[in-house]
Amino acid sequence: MKQTFHNSVIHKERISDQVKSILKQSILSGEFKPGEKFPPEIEIAQKLKVSKVSAREALREMEAEGLIKKKRGAFGGNFIAEPGSEKMVDVVINSYLFGGITATDLAEFRRILEPGLAKLAAKRRTEDDLKAMEQCINDVDKSIKMGKPDQTKAIGFHRLIADACHNRFISSLMEALVKVFQQVLAKSPDLETATKDLKYNKLFLKHIRERNGEKAEIVMADHFDTLDEMIRKKH
């Protein structure tokens, strides 16, 4: 184990919290890189002169925070987690399922957030972004023509707009929000509502392709009247 980790000092109160703090600092300082195997609890306990129970609790809390991942098997152990959006997705979904946050609350947040994202996407989008949006629209269009609107994919179009902003935090946040609304609006909407939603997505694509951020922003703000209508029909 690296020298900085070895020379850390543990005080008496709240041992597991202090162990966790030291272990987190070892990751933040670059002593351990994403994907690397983390020391086992017995080694941590020996190096920091604490009990295995304290080391185990610190590792458990780090796993809960998404900082490390536990792998089973002969080559298993604790590994430094790769940066990702999984925890953000979990927090938003659990807040909706258990925390008293409603679909209407989240829709209001999206109403504030997404017009700005549409404007930024129009500025930063690439040809690959446009192709992904076109494919999504084509797939949803086919599902509507078959009489079975794919609302899950239609909602996913908003993640593609976020991705076109080329900001990892925005993409992670929108992935979480989109997954919640894919649950909220899981049942297929009526064809009229689905068709109206698709028309908005086509307008987003048009304005984003033309790099007309102002129009994309205006259309996105207007679009949320359709989303509100969908939510009302589900509740």
Least-confidence region, from 6-10, 138-142, 175-179: 6-10
Is residue 134 pLDDT above 90, yes or no?
A: yes
Per-residue burial over 44-70, b if 16 or more Cβ lie within 10 Å, else e, is bbebbebeeebbbbbbebbeeeebbbe
pLDDT of the residue at 174: 92
pLDDT in tens, 172-225: 899 989 988 888 776 666 788 889 889 999 999 999 999 999 999 999 999 887
Mean pLDDT of 82-96: 76
The CATH T-level fold of domain 86-234 is Four Helix Bundle (Hemerythrin (Met), subunit A) (1.20.120)
Diameter over CA atoms, the chain: 68
d(CA 62, CA 11): 20
Side-chain-facing half-sphere of 55: CA atoms under 13 Å: 16
Listed residue (161, 184, 162) closest to 85, CA to CA: 162
- Top pLDDT among 235 and 209 is at 209
Mean pLDDT of 126-146: 96
pLDDT of the residue at 14: 79
**Whole-structure pTM over 0.85, yes or no?**
no
Q: Where are the domains of the chain?
A: 3-80, 86-234
pLDDT of the residue at 6: 59
Is residue 120 pLDDT above 90, yes or no?
A: yes
Mean pLDDT of 26-53: 89
Is residue 140 pLDDT above 90, yes or no?
A: yes
Mean pLDDT of 55-83: 84
CATH says 3-80 is which class? Answer: mainly alpha
**CA 165 from centre of chain:** 15
- Top pLDDT among 50 and 90 is at 50
User: Within a 10 A sphere around the Cβ of 35, how many other Cβ atoms?
Assistant: 10
Average of per-residue pLDDT values in the chain:
86
